[in-house]
Amino acid sequence: MNEPIEADVPPPAPPRIVYRHRLPTRIWHWVNALTVFVMLMSGLMILNAHPRLYWGQYGANFDHAWLELGSRPFPGWATIPSTYNLAAARRWHLAFAWVLVAGLVLFLLVSLWNRHVQRDLTPTGEEVKPKHIWNDIRQHARLRFPTGDAALRYNILQKLSYAAVIFVLLPLMLLTGLAMSPAIDAAWPWLLDIFGGRQSARSIHFICAAAILAFILVHLVMVALAGPINEIVSMITGRFRVPPERTEE
């Protein structure tokens, strides 16, 4: 009896490992992650002290608030400290604010020097075309993430979201935080004028914080869907396993 002839099946290609994230980027990522979480949680405790937001120069219990969250809206597990303590929350918030400022300034200086901003975060002319952006949105909605060499580059949605956080939301948070400081107001009164008053600065501060929290949640979901082990390991070691090219049927 003739034995069946088995077709030669080529062995699977070894995984392709590349050095994706430089050390300054990885350090800033993890320090910034801790810093932002502490500031968000201590900020919720500060908001618990007066959970109402206003526009303009003034805001108190009998003034009209554009947003009112009710009495003590955030539970202890979501705040720092976990028990009501406005003074401690302010100390935590201010201490980590300096860490945030120092980290952001150093990251920007190093990233401009090694051209990380120009090379990896600056969109190209082709990428900002509506057709290209819409195609990226469709691919993400279908959970079809980049593979091969495309996985080594930030897509336009990542570039726009990272640019919004690094160059808009974080600077706005820092400036509005300074505008709420009486000492800074005395030295730089024009800062309050830019934002239209202390209460407007407070509102913008919390809007930016909410936007950063939304970015973090979407970021975590994308990491989980794209392959959490590979993504987290690459942000710890810098080494990234490139997903193999997708074969189209």
Identity of residue 217: L
Instruction: Give 239's strand partners.
Output: 19
For residue 249, what pLDDT band results from cuts at 50, 70 and 90? very low
- Could you tell me which residues come within 8 angstroms of residue 100 by beta carbon, excluding any fewer than 6 positions away? 32, 35, 36, 39, 170, 174
pLDDT at 1 over 60: no
Residue 138: pLDDT above 80? yes
Tell me, what's the pLDDT at 12?
63
| Mean of pLDDT over the chain | 87
- 217 compared with 13, residue with greater pLDDT: 217
Cβ–Cβ < 8 Å for 109, 51: no
Bridge partner list, 241: 17
167 C-beta neighbours (distance < 10 Å), count: 14
According to the per-residue pLDDT averaged within each range, which of 134-138, 151-155, 184-188 is highest? 134-138
Query: How far is it, in rounded angstroms, from Cα 37 to Cα 96?
Result: 10
What is the pLDDT at residue 220? 92
**3-class state of residue 155 by DSSP:** coil
Respond yes or no on whether the N-terminal peptide bond of residue 81 is cis (omega within 30° of 0).
Answer: yes
- Range name among 37-51, 60-74, 181-195 with the lowest pLDDT average: 60-74
Four-CA torsion 23, 26, 27, 33, nearest 10 degrees:
170
| Spatial separation of the C-alpha atoms in residues 249 and 243, rounded to whole Å | 18
pLDDT band, residue 148 (cuts 50/70/90): confident
pLDDT tens digits, 74-124: 898 999 999 989 999 999 999 999 999 998 888 888 888 888 888 888 998
Neighbouring C-beta atoms of residue 109, cutoff 10 Å: 11
Q: Please tell me the distance from the alpha carbon of residue 246 to that of residue 178, in angstroms, as a whole number.
A: 49
For residue 114, what pLDDT is reported? 83
pLDDT at 7: 52
Whether 45 contacts 84, CB under 8 Å: yes
